[in-house]
Chain A
Amino acid sequence: MASMRDIKRRKVSIQSTQQITKAMKLVSTVKLQRAKTRAERSKAYFNCMYETIQGIIARTGHVEHPYLVKGDSDRKAVVVITSNRGLAGGYNSNIVKLVAGSELKKEQVDVYAVGKKGRDLLKRRGYNVKADHSEVINEPLYKDAMEITEEVLSSYKAGEVGEVWLAYTGFKNTVSHIPTLIKLLPVDGKLSGDDGEEHKTVTTLMNYEPEESEALELIIPKYVSSLIYGALIEAVASENGARMQAMDSATSNAEEMIGTLELQYNRARQGHITQELTEIIGGAEALSS
Chain B
Amino acid sequence: MADERAFALKIITPDRVFYEGEAIMVELRTTEGEIGVLKNHIPLTCVVAPGLLRIRETDTEVKTAALMSGFVEILQDCVTILAEVIEWPDEIDVKRAEEARVRAERRLAEKAETTNLKRAELALQRSVARIEAAKK
Contacts and interface: CB of A to CB of B under 8 A. Distances in A.
A102 interface: no
Given A44-B17, A45-B13, A48-B12, A209 B45 contact: yes
Contact of B43 (A45, A46, A205): A205
> From DSSP, what is the main secondary structure of chain A's interface residues?
helix
A48 B75 CA distance: 13
Contacts of B70: 222
B45 A52 contact: yes
A215 B31 CA distance: 10
A52 B73 contact: yes
B33 to A, nearest CB: 9
Contact of B14 (A204, A205, A229): A229
Q: How large is the interface on A (under 10, 10 to 19, 20 to 34, 35 or more residues)?
A: 20 to 34
A37 to B, nearest CB: 10
A142 B15 contact: yes
A207 interface: yes
Nearest to A56: B45
Given A41-B15, A230-B14, 12 more contacts: A44-B12, A45-B12, A48-B80, A49-B82, A52-B45, A207-B42, A208-B45, A209-B45, A218-B31, A218-B71, A222-B71, A222-B84
Interface in B29-59: 30-32, 42-47
Interface in A169-225: 204-210, 215, 218-219, 222, 225
Contacts of A146: 84
A38 interface: yes
Interface string A14-39: 00000000000000000000000010
A215 B70 CA distance: 11
A48 B45 contact: no
26 contacts: A38-B15, A41-B16, A44-B17, A45-B14, A46-B14, A48-B12, A146-B84, A204-B75, A206-B43, A206-B44, A207-B44, A208-B46, A209-B30, A209-B31, A209-B32, A210-B31, A210-B46, A215-B45, A215-B46, A215-B71, A218-B71, A219-B71, A222-B69, A222-B70, A225-B84, A226-B14
